[in-house]
Structure 1
Amino acid sequence: MGITDMIAGFIQEALDDAGGVLEMQRGDLAQRFGCVPSQINYVMSTRFSPEHGYIVESRRGGGGYIRITRVHVDRQTLMMHVINSIGSEIDPASARAILSNLVQSEAIPAQTGKLLVSLLSDTALRSVPKDQRSVLRADLLKQALIHLV
């Protein structure tokens, strides 16, 4: 088990014990796991995102903290949040991560996620000039998700 999994597991357990709202010091957590604070930021952004059902508030500085709140949103709200969070461009890895999160949260079926990952790949878009693929990929992903709402 990697350090990211250990940190995420610790936070998840602490969240469960705290009843769904947890406040902690980033520095204390980094010290506990012997890592840099940016590793904690990575865990927050990849494991405790709105797509995963969490709201993360952060205040930096000496008295800084991280507050994680577990929220339960309906499928439509989740999908609209994801659609609105996609910028004007997206790379294949980010599209794959978004679709993986949607599959994990059961917002879309696994087959649909796999199909969309394939359709948004550089291989599928090879006839499009490289400098235009990220823009087209973002537009396609948004439209596909809008259709699935």
Structure 2
Amino acid sequence: MRNISDIIEKYIKEILDSNDIIKLKRSELAERFQCVPSQINYVLKTRFSIERGYVVESKRGGGGYIQVVKVRPVTDAELIDEMIGLIGYRLTQSMAESIVMHLLEEDVLSDREARLMMTVMNHTAINIDIPLRDELRANLMKAMLRSLTYSR
């Protein structure tokens, strides 16, 4: 059985399928799924990040709400360039995984390419101490993404 985070994520994504911008009330979602509001925050922070192609903004006043925007680049190359721009000097494994999942969901990567990239990004494959591991991961991810840009 899926956990509550999976269920909340699925519900929000279903709404986003018909609208690129949605406004949600955290308290109403928490009530709907019978969970604490911090659970909604957790789902939004971990599953609707910019690396995954979403912009989440909290709005205060008028009862307050959370706005979720699905970012849809025009071309695969634009999406890849956007992901390269998000990668700084260092890249954590979780951020790398989010980038790969986003590219997979947008059909920029095949399942095989995604699996290969995830394997290379894993801390067991990059067996050196932090912060060097995160620096190497950033460089590897940028190189892989650039190679995708030129091969399409």
- Give the alignment's TM-score, normalised by structure 1: 0.78
Q: Which residue does 1:41 correspond to in 2?
A: 41
Q: Which residue does 1:83 correspond to in 2?
A: 84
Determine the C-alpha separation between the residues in 1 that align with 2:95 and 2:17: 29
- Please say if residues 25 and 66 of structure 1, whose CA atoms lie closer than 8 Å, have aligned partners that are also in contact: yes
Q: Which residue does 2:59 correspond to in 1?
A: 59
Determine the C-alpha separation between the residues in 1 that align with 2:20 and 2:79: 18
Q: Which residue does 1:10 correspond to in 2?
A: 11
Determine the C-alpha separation between the residues in 1 that align with 2:130 and 2:72: 39
Q: Which residue does 1:142 correspond to in 2?
A: 142
- Please say if residues 52 and 101 of structure 2, whose CA atoms lie closer than 8 Å, have aligned partners that are also in contact: no
- Greater Cα shift, 128-137 or 102-111: 128-137
Q: Which residue does 2:22 correspond to in 1?
A: 22
The residue type paired with residue 108 of structure 1 is: L
Residue segments in structure 1 that go unaligned for 5+ positions in a row: none
Q: Which residue does 1:113 correspond to in 2?
A: 114
- Greater Cα shift, 60-69 or 20-29: 60-69
Percent identity of paired positions between Structure 1 and Structure 2 = 39
Determine the C-alpha separation between the residues in 2 that align with 1:69 and 1:131: 32
Alpha carbons of structure 1 residues 30 and 135: separation in structure 2 relative to 1, 3 Å: same
- Please say if residues 9 and 47 of structure 2, whose CA atoms lie closer than 8 Å, have aligned partners that are also in contact: yes
Tell me the CA shift for residue 2 of structure 1.
1.5
Tell me the CA shift for residue 71 of structure 1.
4.2
Alpha carbons of structure 1 residues 58 and 32: separation in structure 2 relative to 1, 3 Å: same
Tell me the CA shift for residue 141 of structure 1.
0.7
Equivalent pairs counted in the alignment come to 147
The residue type paired with residue 121 of structure 1 is: N
- Greater Cα shift, 22-31 or 34-43: 34-43
Tell me the CA shift for residue 50 of structure 1.
4.4
